[in-house]
Amino acid sequence: MNALQLLMARRRQHLKSQYGFSYGGDLKEDSPYVLYIHPKTHGIALQMKADVGRAESLRSTESSSPEEVAIVFGGDVEQAIFNFRGGEPLEVVSWEELARECSLPPSRPPINTEFILHLLLRGDEQDAVIGDLLERHGRKCARLGKRRADFWFCCEVFWTSLPLLKRALFKLGGLAALSEWVRRHIS
């Protein structure tokens, strides 16, 4: 199960608990899809290929029920999910927001690699660099799946460690040279 399917599974659970029904259907990442749910009929009504424009027209023609929910997957529209309910303006929900809404735990990379960076990074850099890596890992997870995202993360930590290690060694070398100079001139 890839990240997208996992996210949708969570979404289904969320809808089931909220509306008392859920829906099925396969999702593909490469093309935009619309999932259209009609709570009054207690079931999934439609699943169709669509784009944002199509979703807009769907909303305008079939917004009789205030509880209609539709989710549009735009393959290349920055992985955005458009979530709208009848009568309300189209609301853009990001992957992260949806993940939070579905109480999807934030993607966790292999912890040891993160620990390596803790050792090499300065205090002020730790938040920024590790946060950036985690953020990109989360996006890669949604796009490529956890295994490939983890692999990307490990490679990235390796390549990130090299310049940091070089810097740390340079500093250590500088300190050693300084202590040697002090030792010579004092003794």
Binding window for another protein (CB under 8 A); candidates: 30-38, 39-47, 49-57, 135-143: 135-143
Residues 96 and 137: their CA atoms lie apart, in Å, by 12
- Judged by CB under 8 A, the chain residues 14 through 33 that form the site for another protein are none
Residues 72 and 95: their CA atoms lie apart, in Å, by 12
* Sign, Cα dihedral of 20, 64, 49, 77: negative
Binding window for another protein (CB under 8 A); candidates: 9-17, 31-39, 52-60, 92-100: 92-100
The token pair that represents 154 in the structure block? 């490990």
Residues 97 and 48: their CA atoms lie apart, in Å, by 24
Q: Tell the smallest beta-carbon distance from residue 12 to another protein (Å).
A: 22
Q: Tell the smallest beta-carbon distance from residue 185 to another protein (Å).
A: 28
Residue 96 engages another protein in binding (rule: CB under 8 A) = yes
Single residue of 124, 183, 184, 185 touching another protein by CB under 8 A: 124
Our CA angle for 8, 16, 33, nearest 5°, is 35
What are the residues binding another protein (CB under 8 A)? 96, 99-100, 106, 124-136, 138, 156, 159-164, 167
